[in-house]
Amino acid sequence: MISKQDLGGAWTLRGADHELPATVPGCVHTDLLAAGAIPDPFLDDNETTVGWVGRADWAYRRDIAWDGPAHERVDLVFDGLDTVAAVALGGTPLGATRNMHRGYRYDVTALLDGSPQPLDVLFTSAYTEAERVRELLGERANAYPEPFNFIRKMACSFGWDWGPTLVTAGIWRPVRLEGWSVARLATVRPLATWSDGAGRLDLTIEAERLHDVPLSVRVLLDGREVARGELPPGDSRLSLSANPDFVRQWAPIGYGSQPLHDLTVELSTGDVLLDRWQRRTGFRGVSIDRGPDAAGSRFVIEINGEPVLVKGVNWIPDDIFPARMTRARYELRLREAVAAGVNLIRVWGGGIYEDRAFYEVCDELGLLVWQDFLFACADYPEEEPLFSEVVAEARENVTRLAPHPSLITWSGNNENLWLHGAMGWSDEASWGERYYLETLPAIVADLDPSRPYQAGSPWSGSWDHLPNDTGHGTFHSWEVWNREDYLNYRDSAPRFVAEFGWQAPPAWTTLRDAVSDDPMLPDSPGVLHHQKAEDGNGKLARGLAPHFGTPSSTEAWHYLTQLNQVRAIRAGVEHWRSYWPHTGGSILWQLNDLWPVTSWAAIDGAGRYKPLYFELASLHAARGLTVQPRDGGLVVAVLNDSPAGWAGRLAVHRRTTGGELRAAWAVPVEVAARQVTLVEIPRDVTAIGDGEFLVAELDQARALWFAVPDKDFPHPDAALTVTADPVPGGLDVLIRADGLARDVLLQADRIHPEAVADRGFLTLLPGESATVRVRGPVELDPALVKAPWVVTDLATVLAGDE
C-alpha cells in the first residue's frame, strides 16, 4: 500500500538579500509578511512599494529523508509550484517547471539513502519567464499592460481592474513523498451520470507499473462492489462501467437533494492491496439547450432534463495569495453564496482551477459550477513552449475535477474570442482561436464527454454571429456601466447574461482600514489607489448623476454609490428574469474580492457584506414580483421559480408618500411552476402624479415602482424612530417610519468592525416597521445606533442632513 510523508511546514526562504523562515504551502509574499520584511500590500499604495518582490528570484530549501516503510519506489510529489522553478535534491537536478496549474512528480528513490538530503526549489521571477517567451514569440495583444498571456500562471496576480499587481512565487500547494511498490493508480477518472431514472458510472483507470504482473481493479460505491476488472501484464489502462441501482439523483439547490456516494477504487496484485483512491461523487445529467428558435438560439442549462433558471455569480480567487485559502474559508464564502439565493458559480478564466475543497463544498451545497479554462482578456500564443503546457494542464484538470457533480460545463476562455475582434487585435500571429475551437473541445470530448463544452464566454455558438450577440448564446453586458446607464439593461433581452455588474466601494470600515488619507475623499490618493478600473470613479460619478445628483460628502458618496449598485443590479436581474426562459439566467460580476477595493463585488475584500449581497437574496427568491415597462405601459411580472404553482390575488395600489390611497386594482393570478406571467396594469392605475408611486403585492411578495429618478422625487421626512434592544450576541434594532422611508440602511461595521447586520437597504411604507438584527463578537453599545451614518435613509442623504 502506498505510504505518504508530508513535506509541508517549515522551510527556509532565500533571495533578494533576505534569508528567513518559510511556510509551505505558501508564497514569498506571505513569508516576507510573516517575517515583517515587507509592509502590508493592502494598505495605501504599499502594493507598489513591494512590487520588487515579483521581479526577484527566490529559493526554498529544507532537508528531507524517507522515514516510511521500505518501498521499491519513492516519488517527490508537488501538487503546485508557482510558477517557474528548478527542483534539485542533494544537488541533483530533478526537473524544471513553468506552469502554476499543474502537479509534478519525480522519482527520487536513488537519491534517498536514509540520511537527510537538501531539497531545493529555485524560483525564477515570472516576469523573467514571461518576457523571455514574449521575446521569443513576439507581441500579442492584451487588455492589461502586463505579460500574463505568456506564462501559465494566475493571470490576475499581474493586476486586473479590481486587483493589485502582486506577482507571486512559491510552493503554493502541498508537497510530499510517496513510497510505493509494484504499481500505483496514476489517474482515476469517474464520470457519474443520470438518465432515464437511473445512474451510470463510467471509469477510466491508468496505472503506473514497476513490474509486468497481473493487476486487479475493484470499484466500490458506498462500500458495495459495483465493478471489477483486470490489467494483464503490459497493460496500464482499463475502462469499467456500472449501473448501480441503489444510487440517488443529485440535483442543484432548489431542484432536489444532493446525495453523494463514496467511490473507492482499489488496485491489487493477487491478495496484496497496492493502492486505493477515494472520492465522493454524485449522479446527474447535464445538457445545455442551444437550439435555434424564432429569436435566435437558446442558452438554457438543463439538469436531469429540467431547465434551470441560473441565478449565478462570478468567482475570482478569494485571496491574491491563494495558498492562504482553507476549506473553512471556501465553505464560508460558498455558504454565503447559497444564502444569497445563488445556484451557480462561474470560476473565471483569469484565476485558478480551485482546490478540491472548493468543488467538494459545491457538491455538498448543490451549487452548480461553470469552469473556465484559464485564458482571459488577451491573445494567447499557440506555439511552444506554451502549447504543450496548455494541453498537459487541461488534461490534468479535466481528470482531477471529473468526480464532482457540481461541475456542469467547461468554457474555453473569458472574453478572448469577443475582444480579439471587438478590439481590432491583429491576426498576423496566433492568438488562441485554436485552443478554444480545436484543442480544448477535443480534450473535453476525449476525457469528459459527460459535460457540455463552450468555446468561451461570451460566445454566440459560431462565427456566423458576432461573439457577443444578444440573440445567440452567452452575452457580457459591459456597455452598461462603462458607457451607459443601468436603465439601458431594459433595451435588450439576451439569451443568457454571463457577466454584468456595477461598482461600489467596500464597506466603510474596509475602506477606512485600507486607506490612511486624512481627510478620506472619493478622489484622495489612497481611495484612488484602491480603484483599479479605468476611470472607475468617473463612471461612479456619471452613474450617480441622473439618479441622485452630486453627493454632499464622502459619507454620502459611500452611501449613494452602494445604493446605485443595488439599483443597477436590480434593474438588470428583474428585467432578465421577466424574460425567462427566453433569457436563461444571469451571472453577476462578481461575488467576492481578493483585497480591499472599489469593485463590482457583493462581498468585499475583508469579507464584509455590501448592501448588494443582501439584495441578491431578494432578486434570487423563488417567488417575486417586479414592475416592468412594456409596450408603453407597465406590467407586473409574477416570477415563480418554485416547483409548485403560485395562485393568489395580485393587488396594485397607487399611493402618496404620506400613505394616501389614490387608486387600487386587483386581479386573480395563477402561475405554473418554474414560469413567469406578465399582468398588464390598467392605465388609470399607472397615471402616477407628483409624489406618487405604485405598490404591487401578492402574498408576501412586494414590488415598488417610482416613475421619476430618485433626485426628482419629493422625499419628505419619514420621521424615523430607531430603538436598539440588547439581545444575546448583539442588538435587535427596530426601525419605524411615519411616512415613506426609502432605502433605510444600517451599517453594522460603524457600530463595531466585526458586527454584521442581517439585511441591507429596506424601504418602509407609512406606518411600517422592521427589525434589523445586528450581531457581533463583543457586547454592542445600543447607543451607537444613534451615531452619524449608522442608520440613515435616502431622504436624509439627499437633503444633506446627516
Residue positions annotated with a catalytic role = 415
- Rounded Cα gap, residues 142 and 380, in angstroms: 9
C-alpha Rg value of the chain to the nearest Å = 28
What element of type H or E holds 671? Answer: strand 661-671
Burial 753-765 (b: 16+ CB within 10 A, else e): bebbbebbbbbbb
Q: Classify residue 377 by burial, with Cβ atoms within 10 Å: 0-12, 13-18, 19+.
A: buried
DSSP 32: H
How far separated are the first and last CA of the chain, in Å rounded?
A: 70
Contacts 24+ apart (CB under 8 A), 391-397: 391/439, 391/443, 392/99, 392/102, 393/99, 393/101, 393/102, 393/152, 394/439, 394/440, 394/443, 395/443, 395/447, 396/101, 396/102, 396/103, 397/101, 397/353
Comparing CA positions, the residue from 333, 350, 345, 351 lying closest to residue 369 is 345
Q: Tell me if 250 sits within 8 A of 268, measured CB to CB.
A: no
**Residue written as grid cell 529544507:** 62
DSSP 504: B
Sorted by sequence, the CB contacts under 8 Å of residue 612 that are 6+ apart come out as 504, 562, 565, 566, 569, 602, 760
Length of the chain measured in residues: 802
- Rounded Cα gap, residues 445 and 191, in angstroms: 12
Q: Cell numbers of 766, please?
A: 407609512
Q: Tell me if 152 sits within 8 A of 98, measured CB to CB.
A: yes
Chain Cα centroid distance, residue 623: 25
Give the number of other CB atoms < 10 A from CB of residue 334.
Answer: 23
Side chain identity, residue 286: V
Q: Tell me if 237 sits within 8 A of 206, measured CB to CB.
A: yes
CA torsion sign for 593, 599, 603, 607 is positive
Side chain identity, residue 582: H
Cα→Cα distances 108→87, 177, 544, Å: 11, 9, 62
Q: Cell numbers of 414, please?
A: 473569458
Q: Tell me if 37 sits within 8 A of 58, measured CB to CB.
A: no
Side chain identity, residue 724: A
Q: Classify residue 91 by burial, with Cβ atoms within 10 Å: 0-12, 13-18, 19+.
A: exposed
Cα→Cα distances 153→130, 133, 349, 611, Å: 10, 13, 11, 33
Q: Tell me if 149 sits within 8 A of 140, measured CB to CB.
A: yes
Q: Cell numbers of 368, please?
A: 452548480
Q: Cell numbers of 395, please?
A: 488534461
DSSP 130: H
Q: Cell numbers of 213, please?
A: 504482473
- Rounded Cα gap, residues 790 and 65, in angstroms: 58
> φ, ψ for residue 513 (rounded to 5)?
-70, -25
Sorted by sequence, the CB contacts under 8 Å of residue 538 that are 6+ apart come out as none
Q: Tell me if 377 sits within 8 A of 143, measured CB to CB.
A: yes
- Rounded Cα gap, residues 102 and 391, in angstroms: 11
